[in-house]
Amino acid sequence: MRVLVVGGGGREHALVWGISRSPNCEALFCAPGNAGTALLLGERGLGGNLPVDAEDIAGVIGAARAEAIDFVVVGPEAPLAAGMVDALTEAGLLAFGPRQAAAELESSKWFAKEIMREAGVRHAAGASFSDPGGAHGFIDGTFPKSGQPPVIKADGLAAGKGVIVPGTMADAHAAVDELLGGKFGAASATVVVEERLSGLEASAIALVDGETVLPLPLSCDYKRALDGDAGLNTGGMGAYSPPGFMDPDAWSGLVESVHRPVARAMQAAGRPYQGVLYGGLMVPIGESGQGGDAAVIEFNCRFGDPEVQVLLPQLRSDLLELLVACAEGRLETVTAAWSGEAAVGVVLASGGYPGAYETGKLIRGLDTVDDDVLVFHAGTVLDGEGNVVTSGGRVLIVVGQGADLATARERAYANASRIEFEGRHYRTDIAARELS
């Protein structure tokens, strides 16, 4: 099978790595990819990067035709929300990922809430508004001044920056004005005002083929830039799997209480869901330190980045076979085996990220990494001399594995410290809360 992966981040490098191990993978391309995908595809003699933007639908279809591609895996949310899978399907190509109408589970937070209400899924209750007066009245009428201010969200896609968790009621009102005032254009022409939940976050990621649900192991990511969850929100500074605070049996319960009811509700709404259904959970933590009944705070319609970088190394089955079975609506014919080990991933970011940062910095030490440690690239390119240099905010993720989280974590950090570039920074507390 000839395969094309769309996207160029750490998630796509991990997908390319996983798919390249399939015995059925004859050729593999990544559009636009990064230095990691270029090196891997070159070394294995499978193909290479294609100079096509991940959001260029016509360009992706043209590239797929030119390389006689049989199967396209769309990585990021933006092309899914823009209808890339619809266009590929109409062009006669098999594609992994939800169609535009189904991807609204991520691209409209209010739509996701309506589906969860219909499906009876536990979620953060709230309301949506396009007029500031309505939102301000709802905040004052529903959330007592002495209590927890609500969370304010842009309804549409805002590259992970559309959620404001205000400290005070005044900040909540200001957030409404900011978002409805056009901060994210059409994406924030509607806002969602919802109750603030507390607990620990976990990512419940599954493949869904319309009906059948195939869960990946649970995982956790770290969104804030700095240790102790200080600093600004980022795309994700690290991840680990599995979360020790969740009962391993919790997953089968979540499949029944979240993923399967949502798949059914999407079918009933005439928007059958094929692809990744990623539930962002808030898990309340009891006095024993164990998690209780989780609520969904959002859905994503693609693999988590950096979660998938710690999940795929645990997979002992053929990733390509799973993705194709999902796209063909026959997930019930395949099974996924997992190592049962733990994995910890540490993101190395450019100095200044998530604010302004410089690029073009030479990366040293990639050849010093231990054999059992994986390094997935995100913002990297090859310069004219074949050196790997930085090209983005999140640059690399170093993934350690082991029988337990402590071992996996030690391996990840021992190797992360050997890779250097000017301005490099990383969090030192990924998975640390699991050690006590």
- Residues near ligand GLY, by CB under 6 A: 221, 236, 300, 304-305, 307
Among 70, 177, 201, 321, binds ligand AMP (CB under 6 A): 201
Write out the DSSP string of 361-419. PBPB-GGGS-TT-EEEESSEEE-TTS-EEE-SSEEEEEEEEESSHHHHHHHHHHHHTT-
Cβ atoms 33, 8 nearer than 8 A:
yes
Question: Two tokens at 344?
Answer: 């910890």
Site for ligand AMP in 106-125 (CB under 6 A): 124
The CB-of-408 to ligand AMP minimum distance in angstroms stands at: 23
Helices (H), ranges, 76-146: 77-81, 84-90, 100-107, 109-119, 132-142
197 touches ligand AMP (CB under 6 A): yes
Cβ atoms 373, 415 nearer than 8 A:
yes
Choose one: 191-199, 262-270, 314-322, 393-401; the region binding ligand AMP (CB under 6 A): 191-199
Judged by beta carbon distances under 5 to 8 A according to partner kind, the member of ligand AMP, ligand GLY, none in contact with residue 86 is none
Residue 286 has phi, psi (to 5 degrees) of: -80, 180
275 touches ligand AMP (CB under 6 A): no
Among 160, 253, 289, 360, binds ligand AMP (CB under 6 A): 160
| Residue type (1 letter), 141 | G
The CB-of-178 to ligand AMP minimum distance in angstroms stands at: 16
What are the percentages of helix, strand and coil residues in the chain, rounded to 5? Answer: 35, 25, 40
Closest CA to 151 of 191, 202, 180: 191
202 touches ligand AMP (CB under 6 A): no
- Which is closer to ligand AMP, CB of 28 or CB of 220? 220
The CB-of-77 to ligand GLY minimum distance in angstroms stands at: 8
254 touches ligand AMP (CB under 6 A): no
3-state SS assignment for residue 296: strand
Judged by beta carbon distances under 5 to 8 A according to partner kind, the member of ligand AMP, ligand GLY, none in contact with residue 298 is ligand AMP
The CB-of-426 to ligand AMP minimum distance in angstroms stands at: 19
Cβ atoms 280, 298 nearer than 8 A:
yes
- Catalog residues that contact ligand AMP under the rule CB under 6 A: 124, 151, 160, 163, 165, 194, 196-197, 201, 223, 280, 282, 297-298
